[in-house]
Amino acid sequence: MASETLIEINDLNFSYDTRTILKGVNMTMRRGQLIAIMGGSGSGKTTLLKLIGGAVRPSSGYVKVSGQVIHELNRDALFKMRRKMGMLFQFGALFTDLSVFDNVAFQMREHTDLSESMIRDLVLMKLHAVGLRGAHQLMPAELSGGMARRVALARSIALDPMLMMFDEPFTGLDPISLSVIGGLIRRLTDALGMTSIIVTHDVQESLSIVDYVYFIADGVIAAHGTPDDVKESEAPFVHQFVHGEIDGPVPFHYPAQAYLQDLNLEKALA
Amino acid sequence: MLKPIARIISVIQGIGHRVIEAVWRLGRATRFFLLVLLKSGTSLRRFGLVIRELYYTGVLSLIIIVVSGLFVGMVLGLQGYETLQKYGSETAVGTLVALSLVRELGPVVAALLFASRAGSAITAEIGLMKATEQLTAMGMMAVDPVARVVAPRFWAGVISMPLLAAIFSVMGVFGGYLVTVLFIGVDEGSFWSQMQSNVDFRIDILNGFIKSCFFGVAVTAIAVFEGYDSPPTAEGVSGATTRTVVTSSLVILGLDFILTAFMFRGL
Chain B contact set for A82 (CB, 8 A): 139-142
Q: Say whether pLDDT at B130 is over 60.
A: yes
Domain membership flag for residue B4: no
Strand partners, B85: none
| Burial of A249: CB neighbours in 10 Å, binned 0-12, 13-18, 19+ | middle
Strand partners, A86: A164
Chain A interface includes B103 (CB < 8 A): no
User: What is the pLDDT, as a whole number, of residue A184?
Assistant: 87
The answer to whether A85 contacts B140, with C-beta atoms less than 8 Å apart, is: yes
Q: Count the Cβ atoms, other than its own, within 10 Å of residue A78.
A: 18
Q: Which of B137, B142, B143 sits opposite A89 (nearest CB)?
A: B137
Q: Which residues of A lie inside 8 Å of B (Cβ-Cβ)?
A: 53, 55, 79-80, 82-83, 85, 87, 89-91, 93-97, 106-107, 110-111
What residue spans of B85-146 are helical by DSSP H?
93-99, 106-114, 120-131, 134-140, 145
Q: What is the pLDDT of residues A70-82, one digit of tens each?
A: 888 888 888 888 8
The answer to whether A53 contacts B137, with C-beta atoms less than 8 Å apart, is: no
User: What's the mean pLDDT when you consider all of chain A?
Assistant: 85
Strand order of the β-sheet with A34-38 is A85-88, A163-167, A195-200, A34-38, A212-217, A220-225
User: What is the pLDDT, as a whole number, of residue B238?
Assistant: 95
Chain A contact set for B128 (CB, 8 A): 96
Distance between CA atoms of A54 and B140, rounded to whole angstroms?
9
Q: By CA distance, what is A84's nearest residue in B?
A: B141
Q: Are A72 and A46 in contact (CB under 8 A)?
A: no
Q: Which of A91, A94, A107 sits opposite B141 (nearest CB)?
A: A107
User: What is the pLDDT, as a whole number, of residue B106?
Assistant: 94
Q: Say whether pLDDT at A226 is over 80.
A: yes
C-alpha A66, offset from chain centre: 19
Q: Are A96 and A141 in contact (CB under 8 A)?
A: yes
Chain B contact set for A90 (CB, 8 A): 133
SS3 at position A137:
coil
**pTM of the complete model:** 0.84
Which pLDDT band, with edges at 50, 70 and 90, does B1 fall under?
Answer: low
Contacts of residue A48, Cβ cutoff 8 Å, sequence gap at least 6: A9, A12, A22, A25, A37, A199, A216
Distance between CA atoms of A157 and A86, rounded to whole angstroms?
6
Domain membership flag for residue B11: no
User: What's the mean pLDDT when you consider all of chain B?
Assistant: 92
Q: What is the pLDDT of residues A109-156, one digit of tens each?
A: 988 889 999 999 999 998 998 888 998 899 999 998 888 988 998 998
Pick A265 or B17 by higher pLDDT.
B17
Structural domain span for residue B188: 62-262
Q: Are B157 and B219 in contact (CB under 8 A)?
A: yes
Chain A interface includes B210 (CB < 8 A): no
Chain B contact set for A79 (CB, 8 A): 142, 144
Q: Say whether pLDDT at A250 is over 70.
A: no
Q: Are A131 and A163 in contact (CB under 8 A)?
A: no
Q: What is the pLDDT of residues A1-11, one digit of tens each?
A: 446 888 888 88
C-alpha A49, offset from chain centre: 7
Which pLDDT band, with edges at 50, 70 and 90, does B236 fall under?
Answer: very high
Chain A interface includes B132 (CB < 8 A): yes
Task: Of A84, A62, A36, A68, give the one whose Cα is nearest residue A186.
Answer: A36
Q: What is the pLDDT of residues B24-60, one digit of tens each?
A: 999 999 999 999 999 998 888 889 899 999 999 999 9
Among A76-90, B98-112, B156-170, the range scoring the smallest mean pLDDT is: A76-90
Task: Tell me the residue type at B61.
Answer: S
HSE, side-chain direction, 13 A CA sphere, residue A234: 0
Q: Say whether pLDDT at A228 is over 90.
A: no
**Strands A85-88, A163-167: pairing kind:** parallel
Q: Are A59 and A15 in contact (CB under 8 A)?
A: yes
Distance between CA atoms of B200 and B187, rounded to whole angstroms?
22
Distance between CA atoms of A170 and A92, rounded to whole angstroms?
11
Give ∠ CA B230-A17-B236 in degrees, rounded to 5: 15
Extended strands (E) in chain A = 5-16, 19-30, 34-38, 60-65, 68-69, 85-88, 163-167, 195-200, 212-217, 220-225
Chain A contact set for B143 (CB, 8 A): 106-107, 110-111
Q: Say whether pLDDT at A266 is over 50.
A: yes
For chains A and B, what is the number of CB pairs under 8 angstroms?
48
Chain A interface includes B90 (CB < 8 A): no
Helix H or strand E encompassing A34: strand A34-38
User: What is the pLDDT, as a whole number, of residue A270?
Assistant: 67
Task: Of B158, B133, B159, B157, give the one whose Cα is nearest residue B145.
Answer: B133
User: What is the pLDDT, as a whole number, of residue A1?
Assistant: 44
The answer to whether A93 contacts B137, with C-beta atoms less than 8 Å apart, is: yes
What percent of chain A shows pLDDT beyond 70? Answer: 97
From the candidates B134, B135, B144, B237, which should be mutated to test the interface with A, based on the most A CB atoms within 10 A?
Answer: B134
Chain A contact set for B140 (CB, 8 A): 53, 55, 82, 85, 87
Domain membership flag for residue B191: yes
User: What is the pLDDT, as a whole number, of residue B9?
Assistant: 92
The answer to whether B140 contacts A82, with C-beta atoms less than 8 Å apart, is: yes
Chain B contact set for A93 (CB, 8 A): 132-134, 136-137
Chain A contact set for B142 (CB, 8 A): 79-80, 82-83, 107, 110-111
Chain A interface includes B138 (CB < 8 A): yes
pLDDT (average), residues B113-128:
95
Q: Say whether pLDDT at B141 is over 80.
A: yes
Q: Say whether pLDDT at A25 is over 90.
A: no
Q: Say whether pLDDT at B120 is over 90.
A: yes
Q: Which of A55, A93, A111 sits opposite B132 (nearest CB)?
A: A93
Q: For chain A, what are the domain ranges?
A: 5-95+161-233
Distance between CA atoms of A36 and A204, rounded to whole angstroms?
12
Chain A interface includes B153 (CB < 8 A): no
Which pLDDT band, with edges at 50, 70 and 90, does B267 fall under?
Answer: low
Which pLDDT band, with edges at 50, 70 and 90, does A225 fall under?
Answer: confident
Q: By CA distance, what is B137's nearest residue in A?
A: A93
Q: Would you identify the CATH topology of the domain A5-95+161-233?
A: Rossmann fold (3.40.50)
Task: Of B109, B126, B89, give the one whose Cα is nearest residue B228.
Answer: B126
Give the DSSP letter string of A212-246.
EEEEEETTEEEEEE-HHHHHH---HHHHHHHHT-S
The answer to whether A94 contacts B134, with C-beta atoms less than 8 Å apart, is: yes
pLDDT (average), residues A247-259:
75
Among A17-26, A258-267, B30-39, the range scoring the smallest mean pLDDT is: A258-267
Contacts of residue B236, Cβ cutoff 8 Å, sequence gap at least 6: B127, B131, B230
Q: Say whether pLDDT at A254 is over 80.
A: no
Q: By CA distance, what is B148's nearest residue in A?
A: A110
Q: By CA distance, what is A155's nearest residue in B?
A: B141
Distance between CA atoms of B156 and B50, rounded to whole angstroms?
5
Q: By CA distance, what is B140's nearest residue in A?
A: A82
Distance between CA atoms of A124 and A104, rounded to whole angstroms?
9
